[in-house]
Amino acid sequence: MQTRVERMWGQIRNWRGGDASDLHLRPDLPDRDTARLRTLLDATIDGRGGEMAARKRATEIGACFLALDSSGRRRFFELIANEYDHNDAEVDAAMDAVRDAPNSTDRAAAENELRNILRPKRDRLFRRFVGLEGGLSFLVDLREELLPIRNESPELRTLDNDLRVVLARFFDIGLLRLERLTWDSPAVVLEKLIEYEAVHEIRGWDDLRGRLNTGRRCYAFFHPAMANDPVIFVEVAFTKGVPTELEPLLDHSMDQTDPFAADTATFYSISNCHDGLVGVSLGDMLIKSVVDELLREFPNLENLVTLSPIPGFRQWFDEHASHLRALVPSGIPEDPSEAADLQPELLRLAAQYLIVERRSSTNPTMQAERALDPVAHFHLSNGAEVAAINWLANPTPTGWSRSLGMMVNYRYVPDKLEQRHDSYAETGRVAASDELKKLLKLDK
Amino acid sequence: MQTRVERMWGQIRNWRGGDASDLHLRPDLPDRDTARLRTLLDATIDGRGGEMAARKRATEIGACFLALDSSGRRRFFELIANEYDHNDAEVDAAMDAVRDAPNSTDRAAAENELRNILRPKRDRLFRRFVGLEGGLSFLVDLREELLPIRNESPELRTLDNDLRVVLARFFDIGLLRLERLTWDSPAVVLEKLIEYEAVHEIRGWDDLRGRLNTGRRCYAFFHPAMANDPVIFVEVAFTKGVPTELEPLLDHSMDQTDPFAADTATFYSISNCHDGLVGVSLGDMLIKSVVDELLREFPNLENLVTLSPIPGFRQWFDEHASHLRALVPSGIPEDPSEAADLQPELLRLAAQYLIVERRSSTNPTMQAERALDPVAHFHLSNGAEVAAINWLANPTPTGWSRSLGMMVNYRYVPDKLEQRHDSYAETGRVAASDELKKLLKLDK
Amino acid sequence: MQTRVERMWGQIRNWRGGDASDLHLRPDLPDRDTARLRTLLDATIDGRGGEMAARKRATEIGACFLALDSSGRRRFFELIANEYDHNDAEVDAAMDAVRDAPNSTDRAAAENELRNILRPKRDRLFRRFVGLEGGLSFLVDLREELLPIRNESPELRTLDNDLRVVLARFFDIGLLRLERLTWDSPAVVLEKLIEYEAVHEIRGWDDLRGRLNTGRRCYAFFHPAMANDPVIFVEVAFTKGVPTELEPLLDHSMDQTDPFAADTATFYSISNCHDGLVGVSLGDMLIKSVVDELLREFPNLENLVTLSPIPGFRQWFDEHASHLRALVPSGIPEDPSEAADLQPELLRLAAQYLIVERRSSTNPTMQAERALDPVAHFHLSNGAEVAAINWLANPTPTGWSRSLGMMVNYRYVPDKLEQRHDSYAETGRVAASDELKKLLKLDK
Amino acid sequence: MQTRVERMWGQIRNWRGGDASDLHLRPDLPDRDTARLRTLLDATIDGRGGEMAARKRATEIGACFLALDSSGRRRFFELIANEYDHNDAEVDAAMDAVRDAPNSTDRAAAENELRNILRPKRDRLFRRFVGLEGGLSFLVDLREELLPIRNESPELRTLDNDLRVVLARFFDIGLLRLERLTWDSPAVVLEKLIEYEAVHEIRGWDDLRGRLNTGRRCYAFFHPAMANDPVIFVEVAFTKGVPTELEPLLDHSMDQTDPFAADTATFYSISNCHDGLVGVSLGDMLIKSVVDELLREFPNLENLVTLSPIPGFRQWFDEHASHLRALVPSGIPEDPSEAADLQPELLRLAAQYLIVERRSSTNPTMQAERALDPVAHFHLSNGAEVAAINWLANPTPTGWSRSLGMMVNYRYVPDKLEQRHDSYAETGRVAASDELKKLLKLDK
């Protein structure tokens, strides 16, 4: 199977009518070749020959990048990180103009100019990629390649942030289209689900068909410029009662639940499809759009919940519950009763980890400390509550090593999403069910 | 027939499940009502209740705006112009932070912060409209309503510019889709052509069908969030030989030219569909995309030309050729031979007007003075040349009053577009055919 | 505008790659040219060169037919009527073989052979047209041209019947697709509605848009081989209460009735699109399919009715109510009260005409005498009842001259359709509302 | 995985709104239950309650059939075979009427009546199935179930023939749509290819994707009433040079041949998808439609050939070449040179088998004796020629046991298809390449 980058080659060849790059750069991009690349970058960014010509030239840059090896690509990133940001001297001058503006009209003009000057030059390059067939995908993959090295210098970090901002703009929710995927969808789309499913691996086409069966749903966001490539998708199972273990949800083959006879829809898997979109937040809108969609189609649904992992629990447990470490089996116990006497204490600890533990937030719109667990933080930010913690819900080696086999139901109550979102964002207070509060002896 | 705003009402009612605004603002938006509106604006911009809630709240703002009368709308615009820009004190502090940054890493962070602070608060409102069904249209129409009053204060001018920037970002060429419109297209789309055609009025459905006949083509750009509403469209006629008069092009009913037997494709009309997108330049990319498309389908085409008006000629003529004014008939002469002896001199003057006359450019990417005539400037910026001026090409009252009946062929030569674009942008030099240069006694 | 046959020419030219017929028949098809035509017919029917070749040859025959003038076409019809039926001698022999069969196995084989021999030779020609692009349309139009002369000889009558049988087979309801037409439908389809509407003329595109508005519906059957050309369509209006006059139904522009707030759906117009399909009954299935569709979408509907003309009333009245003829105004009375004293008697007579009067049926599945009025017969055969007769429902000259301004509501009661259909087919008994029965002093 | 009949159950449940049959027949259909079934059959065939009611009743019959076990189904078939044909006494009377007709008009009417009476009553049942969602599939599967027992009585044989005739009518080529299948096609369609491929098994989804790659094509006929279920499909490989062995054609993964750089298109597999359509000939039209399509898209193609098995060779060889039997290895020789000295003689024998051997034809349109080999007969009937026999083209156990490893190229020469088809049909003469004729010492 081709890697993403190899697939992109096909696209680029397509862009360029079959020719490889005319620049003939050496794969490791030695110094003597950067001048040629710089000339091409300048012409593209300045829009020489008109917009159409500039966009065609952007394909040449794409072809160059793809022909580079890993050290060449690192040099490419360094080049555009170091030389294609804004110009500090221009910024200083523009700030002086703002400060010295004699009146508000002139100040408004000067501020506008300052904004333009602060915009990095490479922005005009990124934007030109988008107009190309496959160009938006290229930009996403470009960032994916940058991620591993982005922390090596402040300039690379800034470049990464610039790319994130551009991508966030083009992946604005207003441009995405919610689609239900079914067994009637094109194979070229469905195979992407197999490739991208990050939570519960899809084991081939039969497994996939099961996940699209009567008692299941799959919804994805698509971008109009990436027609056959989902951006993020969520998988739903219809059940009677809120599920407390994972396995029945993954055994699709037997599932013939009639959604009209179910009372619960469980989001059992949500997968971001592209690492290059890290930091571009779409999961919240996807879940809520699907909640709306499901309630419209199935007014019979009473519970909209997840069955979620607790990815950070084991590490926290090892650090904070050293008195119990020795008692906990290192692997999943063959006989469940072995761990049974630990159950009450472990559930209590999990509740504490999810509901009480905090860390400071990096998100500027979050004023309070956030929940320590990243999955908890995601659902709480969306306005969900921690509804239940399920003992031995995932009794697999992975499940044991990450969270001692426990899983969580987060519950989405449409009427309470907004208030809970605000309360969490402003005070960091975690919405939890009465049982869990009781377990922790918290006030309601 | 409904006006655009009335149609939008239907959409808004749709957004809001049939209810009118809950705010019950008085149509003229008196002072005592602005506080309620401000609260709603703040909550939307701050994203209270999460992104989904904020976007739903944006529909409420849309509904409020549409329920206002013209003086209320003016006050609405003034409110968001005056109170929802950035904060000058914050800008000053952020500029200080940039200046005082002890090292380049801190400076990069401070510059990033400065960019964020310079971004007007209302940007987050505009962006939230886009995620709504019909929201992008609303934003376009909002700007259309602002245009007539945008020059009344610096703040309104800044607001208009902010809207333009947001719209330019969402109408990025990379998001638009080129489509050929035919008689198989949905009626709801075709009726828009009748409404939007700005150059040569479409006189009903029979006329429209003619313009989509064998010997004709119509291409438009569409935005994915405005599915049935074209953004800009161009009409093409296939002919044998370059057309020298308008009438045969408009008599579609007789036209059965086989495009494979033609040697010329004439762009006889290009219409921007939305005033709210003024200043968002799309015509260049549309023409060039269609040129590519036509040449791929019909390799037999030798000439890609326009038959264009000379909108500013008459005014220039009246000012600069006062010696001739008395000789020129005031209306279109019944007997063409009447004006025949003026023909050589008028053609020469038209050539001078198009090719020699200049004005300074407002476009920052144009370094030189631009052509005086706006249509000439558009095609020259695209890289076309002035190929011929046709005497009595449009012998109608309008044609006479605007350009003494003359029309121009601009010629698009694919191989020369880039070089001509650059030459015009850098030196202001106008590409013209040898005949016209000879007429003006210019060097080649 | 092109006639149908002229449009077909374009199609045929398409079939044949631009060439006219190679046979060069004289337009009036003189005797000396029929031999050449016969050779072509024989080769096509015998399938010489394989099926693909035979179907291509059928296009040649189509091109020949279309190049003939009206006397040539008559001769064409006579040729295939007289010479391309079955062979009587072969029929006789095959009947002998059936009669002489020594056992049931041989008899079954002989009967099968007899059936094949009874099948007219031209059947294989007709069938080959269907495989051609546009071929099914051609066959429909061919029969339309035959209709005016079909009664001139027994052979032509048989030919017409053969064509009807072939068409009935290809227009089997199982192959048709019910579609709702809206303002989003392709213009090429919608213009056909304007052309085909036979009951209440559509006066241009604005009128058409009105008929596709919120409070209206239009449904059509389409054949997969005639993609853009409806076969039959029905127009529906949603109202509160059963409509008693025509005019409000035709004033679409004002109509914004919300179908969910209506209690009645009125079928106010049903049009067969193709004369060539006369005798191929599709209206019954169309109405019932739409009834199902509407009830599924709008469970709020209580009445499913028509507002129908009484086309045969005036003639029957003139023959049977001579005592009243002199009293009835010859034209629509300016002052409605003029005719008011006649109202009770005329309503009674209309009820008698619709409910009591009979004629013998030509339809073999109808065992009893049928209603005299053709529209009544259509709806009664579908299982509807005569629900009400409305005085001055259509006070136009046409309405007056056909039915003295009266119109009928036929009512479709889903649960009673089958029983009423059977009762009417077996006994001829007409289902009528209690009021109408009372008016006629009939028992319930 | 569900069997076809089990899948059909879902459909039927759909037809009937979830209810099982109301008739509650015992699965083995004992005598005492047939009366109830007969009543239902009569009502459906007579169209009681109108056409819509009759078609709905047909679903009840479908549900009954599907609830029967295999002996019940046999009794179902026997019931409609024995009791729902035409009526012999009516046939006799109608034949008398034809014979006694006093004139040609009356005779025409009597013949028409005779045709109607010869039509089996069950025809009206079959036809009503077609109007149901999934009904055409049901009819196809019904015949598939009849096939194994059709030769048990003359009545069952007649029933099978009636079904074949009905299906042939509904699967008229004029109603089928040629579609190219690609990796963009719906998974629900593509999985059918895996299921139906009868020649060279598709080993899962990766293998399938390979068969839809750049250097491959797959085309299928679809019926509008069986949207996601192909009727017949053919697989094509583009190569440089005519392929002489099978294996490279089946190794899709490596194939990146650019069709524009190829000179040969090889039809390497053609599969009928439904046993129930046996005797309904569609392969000829499929191949020729694809030949047209390919030549239009790739004018560079010089050879349109097959690489076909010789299914009957081994049996013929065993019977006719007993002197060689002992020399031929029983299994595929490990060392190809082992059989090398037999090669000339075996190739000669294969040529004789394909080109010279004959059997009498059962097809009435074939006047001469046909080729003995069924695959040869198929391609020769289409107008192809036997172009080459390839030694060890399929050196697998199957290939060896069927045809001693040899395979054939049949060549389709567009200009010669008609003449060769006719020549073969009329004289039985097999078109063959000069080499093969030379091998057999035949005259050209």
Instruction: Select from C185, C209, C228 the Cβ nearest to the Cβ of B186.
Output: C185
What is residue C334's predicted lDDT score, i.e. its pLDDT? Answer: 76
Whose tokens are 């890290």? That residue is A278
C87-98: average pLDDT: 96
Instruction: Select from A190, A204, A228 the Cβ nearest to the Cβ of D187.
Output: A190
What is residue A10's predicted lDDT score, i.e. its pLDDT? Answer: 54
What is residue C21's predicted lDDT score, i.e. its pLDDT? Answer: 58
Chains B and D touch (3+ CB pairs under 8 A): no
Instruction: Select from D49, D177, D381 the Cβ nearest to the Cβ of C421.
Output: D49
- D185 to chain A, any CB pair closer than 8 A? The answer is yes
What is residue D19's predicted lDDT score, i.e. its pLDDT? Answer: 46
Mean pLDDT, chain A, whole residue set: 89
C317-338: average pLDDT: 82
pLDDT of residue A6 exceeding 80: no
Partners of A186 on chain D (C-beta within 8 Å) are: 183-187
φ, ψ of residue D14 in degrees (nearest 5)? -60, -50
D86-109: average pLDDT: 94
What is residue D7's predicted lDDT score, i.e. its pLDDT? Answer: 52
D190-201: average pLDDT: 91
B75-104: average pLDDT: 95
Q: Confidence band (pLDDT; 50, 70, 90) for B341? A: confident
Partners of A417 on chain B (C-beta within 8 Å) are: 49-50, 52-53
How buried is C212 (Cβ within 10 angstroms: 0-12 exposed, 13-18 middle, 19+ buried)? buried
pLDDT of residue C97 exceeding 80: yes
pLDDT of residue A2 exceeding 50: no
The 3-state DSSP class for residue C138 equals helix
Instruction: Select from D184, D204, D228 the Cβ nearest to the Cβ of A188.
Output: D184
Mean pLDDT, chain D, whole residue set: 89
D270-279: average pLDDT: 94
Q: How far apart are CA C237 and CA C263, in angstroms?
A: 11
pLDDT of residue D40 exceeding 50: yes
- C415 to chain D, any CB pair closer than 8 A? The answer is no
Contact B121, B84 (CB under 8 A): yes
Q: What is the DSSP letter of D327?
A: T
Instruction: Select from B183, B188, B204 the Cβ nearest to the Cβ of C188.
Output: B183
- pLDDT tens string A46-85: 988 888 888 888 988 998 998 899 999 999 999 999 999 9
The 3-state DSSP class for residue D425 equals helix
What is residue A148's predicted lDDT score, i.e. its pLDDT? Answer: 95
- Best of D14, D183, D202, D203 to disrupt the A interface (most A CBs within 10 Å) is D183
Secondary structure, 3-state, chain B: CCCHHHHHHHHHHHHCCCCCCCCCCCCCCCHHHHHHHHHHHHHHHHCCCHHHHHHHHHHHHHHHHHHCCHHHHHHHHHHHHHHCCCCHHHHHHHHHHHHCCCCHHHHHHHHHHHHHHHCCCHHHHHHHHHCCCCHHHHHHHHHHHHHHHHHHCHHHHHHHHHHHHHHHHHCCHHHCEEEECCCCCEHHHHHHHHHHCCCCCCCHHHHHHHHCCCCEEEEEEECCCCCCCCCEEEEEEEECCCCCCCHHHHCHHHCCCCHHHCCEEEEEEEEECCHHHCCCCCHHHHHHHHHHHHHHHCCCCCEEEECECCCCHHHHHHHHCHHHHCCCCCCCCCCHHHHHHHHHHHHHHHHHHHHCCEECCCCCCCCCCEECCHHHHHHHHHCCEEEEEECCCCCCHHHHHHHCCCEEEEECCHHHHHHHHHHHHHHCCCCECHHHHHHCCCCC
Neighbouring subunits of A (3+ Cβ pairs under 8 A): B, D
What is residue B3's predicted lDDT score, i.e. its pLDDT? Answer: 44
- B188 to chain A, any CB pair closer than 8 A? The answer is no
pLDDT of residue A336 exceeding 80: no
pLDDT of residue A172 exceeding 80: yes
Closest chain C CA to residue B256:
C10
- A185 to chain D, any CB pair closer than 8 A? The answer is yes
- D98 to chain C, any CB pair closer than 8 A? The answer is yes
- pLDDT tens string B131-160: 788 889 999 999 999 999 999 998 999 999
Cβ-defined contact of A155 to B108 (cutoff 8 Å): yes
Cβ-defined contact of B205 to C209 (cutoff 8 Å): no
What is residue B332's predicted lDDT score, i.e. its pLDDT? Answer: 79
What is residue A11's predicted lDDT score, i.e. its pLDDT? Answer: 55
Q: Which residues contact A345 (CB under 8 A, 6 or more apart)?
A: A324
What is residue B333's predicted lDDT score, i.e. its pLDDT? Answer: 77
- Active site includes D289? no
Q: Confidence band (pLDDT; 50, 70, 90) for B323? A: confident
- A214 to chain D, any CB pair closer than 8 A? The answer is no
- pLDDT tens string B44-70: 999 888 888 888 889 889 989 988 999
B335-355: average pLDDT: 88
Q: Confidence band (pLDDT; 50, 70, 90) for C50? A: confident
Q: Confidence band (pLDDT; 50, 70, 90) for D250? A: confident
Beta-strand relationship, B370-371 and B385-390: unpaired
Which has the higher per-residue pLDDT, C256 or A377?
A377
pLDDT of residue D172 exceeding 80: yes
What b/e string do you get for D246-277 counting C-beta neighbours within 10 Å, with b at 16 or more? beebbebeebebebeebebbbbbbbbbbbebb
What is the C-alpha radius of gyration for chain B, rounded to an integer number of angstroms? 26
Q: Confidence band (pLDDT; 50, 70, 90) for D23? A: confident
What is residue A255's predicted lDDT score, i.e. its pLDDT? Answer: 64
What is residue C264's predicted lDDT score, i.e. its pLDDT? Answer: 96
Concatenated DSSP letters of D182-205:
-TTSBHHHHHHHHHH--SS---HH
Closest chain A CA to residue D205:
A205
Q: Confidence band (pLDDT; 50, 70, 90) for C24? A: confident
Q: Confidence band (pLDDT; 50, 70, 90) for D432? A: very high
What is residue A104's predicted lDDT score, i.e. its pLDDT? Answer: 87
Q: How far is B418 from chain A (nearest CA, A)?
A: 4
Chains B and C touch (3+ CB pairs under 8 A): yes
Q: How far is C308 from chain B (nearest CA, A)?
A: 29
- D256 to chain A, any CB pair closer than 8 A? The answer is no
pLDDT of residue A5 exceeding 50: no
pLDDT of residue D121 exceeding 90: yes
Q: What is the pTM of this model?
A: 0.90
- D119 to chain C, any CB pair closer than 8 A? The answer is yes
Q: Confidence band (pLDDT; 50, 70, 90) for D3? A: very low
Partners of D123 on chain C (C-beta within 8 Å) are: none
Cβ-defined contact of D175 to C225 (cutoff 8 Å): yes
- C57 to chain D, any CB pair closer than 8 A? The answer is no
Q: Confidence band (pLDDT; 50, 70, 90) for C329? A: confident
B240-269: average pLDDT: 87
pLDDT of residue B311 exceeding 50: yes
D59-77: average pLDDT: 92
Partners of C205 on chain B (C-beta within 8 Å) are: 187, 191, 204-205
pLDDT of residue A4 exceeding 60: no
- pLDDT tens string C385-416: 999 999 999 988 888 988 999 999 999 999 99
Q: How far apart are CA D173 and CA D184, in angstroms?
A: 25
- pLDDT tens string D341-377: 889 999 999 999 999 998 887 776 677 789 999 999 9
pLDDT of residue A253 exceeding 80: no
- pLDDT tens string D299-318: 999 999 999 999 999 999 99
| Weakest-pLDDT range from B231-235, B357-361, C386-390, D6-10 | D6-10
Instruction: Select from B49, B114, B421 the Cβ nearest to the Cβ of A49.
Output: B421
Q: How far apart are CA C357 and CA B384, in angstroms?
A: 79
